Each structure stands twice: as structure tokens, then as C-alpha cells.
Amino acid sequence: EAGVAQSPRYKIIEKRQSVAFWCNPISGHATLYWYQQILGQGPKLLIQFQNNGVVDDSQLPKDRFSAERLKGVDSTLKIQPAKLEDSAVYLCASSRGQGNEKLFFGSGTQLSVL
Amino acid sequence: RKEVEQDPGPFNVPEGATVAFNCTYSNSASQSFFWYRQDCRKEPKLLMSVYSSGNEDGRFTAQLNRASQYISLLIRDSKLSDSATYLCVVNPRGSARQLTFGSGTQLTVLP
């Protein structure tokens, strides 16, 4: 079974630039999550989709972050403009359903904002 | 108070030792509990779910104490390959179905 695919693996940008991350969840998984993990901390949920609808985006900084899940499959997360404090690993995860099930994570995108 | 709190460690233990981690959670309505493992520069992976009655998987035992609002993970006969960060994961708002991760406890098993 193919895992969660993410790209790019690494990204280096200057502050105030824009960046986008892409995620392809495991086939058939209805729920998709984007997490931000700052060095030394646990992953923090940014947004959760159920199919192509948003379930929870309460911790997404909406003035600069946006996300969409086209046709309930792939998803993109965008930051515009980036700030220094956005430097982190952005992890995409998927699960079969919503809620208390096993999350499968992608390898993440390591973002450095200079 | 944080929703999920863990001792960050690091825990440095010799091979073969028994080590235990605790994790406290703030919301008594929490219903689901998990331990995830994260290797250095890798993504988190589910280690085990934590059930009310406690559960065991080989050398790993997880327990839940609802009265004191904490979960624990016990690792017996530590292996070098157990070196990782262990993340406590809680569903803090009961039926709201959001998983919150702790900051993790770092374990290093020494030869």
C-alpha cells in the first residue's frame, strides 16, 4: 500500500515570499490533516479535512495560511507571505475516517524561512 | 495549562533497562489516547492505542488513569532501536474528534 506522499521534501525561502506544499493521501482515506511541527515540539494541527470539507481550521493562521483539498483527494497548503517563525516541518497525514483512528503521516516538508 | 503535557527528558537508559513515561491531560472529557513514536528526522508513527483496561504489546505496556488524568508507557528490556521521541496523543474535547500531540519525551538507549 502506497503511503502518504508529500512534496517538496525541503524548501528554503526568504521572509515575505510565498510557498506551497502538496500532499497526496493514502487511497481511500477520507480524512486529511496538515500539521506544523516546530523543532523540539509536538505536531500542531493546522487544518483537518473530511473529504473536501473543512472539519477544523481553528489553529490555522488564516491571514497568511490557506489550504484546499481538491476533489477530496490531493491537498495543498500555502503560506503567503512567510515569516521567520513559520520555519518548521509541515506534515500531512491521512486516516480512513474522521476522529480516533490511526494516522498515517507523510515524510513532511522541512521549511526554512530566512 | 497545556492540554497535553509530557516530561521532555531526555531519558538516557542502558540497554535492557525498564523505563516509563507519563503524560498528563487537562480535559476530563478526553476519550481517546495514543502513543506515537517519532525517530529523528522522521514522521510520527502509531506505537499503540491506550485502552481503559490497559494494554500490552510485547515489551510495551500502556495504561490510562482517568482519575488522575494521565497515561503511561512502560518499555521493558530496552533495545538500542527503542531510541526515539515518544509522543503522547489525546483527543482533548471528547467528541470533537481532534487529536492533540504532546511535545514528546526523548529516549536514548545506551549500549
pLDDT band at B70 (very low <50, low <70, confident <90, very high): very high
In the predicted structure, residue B13 carries a pLDDT above the cut 60: yes
Which residue in A has a C-alpha nearest to residue B4's C-alpha?
A42
pLDDT band at B2 (very low <50, low <70, confident <90, very high): confident
Are the Cβ atoms of A99 and B97 closer than 8 angstroms?
yes
Taking residue A81's Cβ as centre, other Cβ atoms within 10 Å add up to 15
Specify the DSSP class assigned to residue B41.
Answer: T
pLDDT band at B30 (very low <50, low <70, confident <90, very high): confident
Cα B63 from chain centroid?
10
How close, in Å, is residue A39 to chain B by CA atoms? 10
pLDDT band at B98 (very low <50, low <70, confident <90, very high): confident
Which residue in A has a C-alpha nearest to residue B102's C-alpha?
A42
